[in-house]
Amino acid sequence: MSATAQTTTEPQCVVVCEYTACLSRFGEPDPYCISFLETCIKESFPVYVIGQVPVQKIKAMVGSLAQAVHCIGNDSPQTDESCECSAAVCIRNSILPAIGDETAILSVCSHNYGCCIARFSDVVFARDEAAAYCNAEKIPHYPYSTMFDVKRLFTSKVLHGKIHPRNKARLLRKDAFETE
């Protein structure tokens, strides 16, 4: 079996960060966000930063990582009737077409428009409105205050294989692929 065939059979994981999750509660870029994104890139995780702001604002926040990070802003709306988030840029509709139904999703969310991807994610880091949504919908998640918390948990659990795919998320992704 070739190396290419082996890598395609192993589950892949993408990291999806809601733009506001990369900000402190005061609206400033979280100083640990770039460090977290660098770790993801170094470990070969595709990274998406998606927000309800122009893509240039997202690229400015990620700085020199803009070449390695998929930045999706509200200048290219991706929503439809099947999405519950009612945002200009539906994170679910931006991510699911770009991945396979067996690809694991790790999401970092803070606002209500990040909730649509939380349902489809294997690992969820949530705060504020997104944490309330996860609690109400009984979606397992890791609460966080800053991106330092996310990076610490990502490094200690995800990179050491202590987190496994969530079957319900996989089934929801599979259903989304089959019905749309």
pLDDT tens-place string over residues 119-133: 889 999 999 999 999
Confidence grade of residue 6 (pLDDT, cut at 50, 70, 90): very low
Q: Which residue has the tokens 């599979």?
A: 174
Give me the pLDDT at residue 83, please.
61
Report how far residue 122's alpha carbon sits from residue 111's, in angstroms, rounded to the nearest whole number: 18
Q: Tell whether 59 is covered by a domain.
A: yes
pLDDT tens-place string over residues 10-59: 448 899 999 999 998 888 889 899 999 999 999 999 999 998 889 999 99
Q: Is the pLDDT of residue 2 over 70?
A: no
pLDDT tens-place string over residues 136-164: 999 999 999 999 999 999 999 888 887 77
Q: Tell whether 174 is covered by a domain.
A: yes
Q: Tell whether 44 is covered by a domain.
A: yes
Q: Tell whether 13 is covered by a domain.
A: no
User: In 10 A of CB 88, how many CB atoms?
Assistant: 16
Provide the residue range defining the domain that includes 55.
22-179
Q: Which CATH number belongs to the domain containing residue 101 in this structure?
A: 3.40.50
Give me the pLDDT at residue 165, please.
80
**Interval 59-81 mean pLDDT:** 83
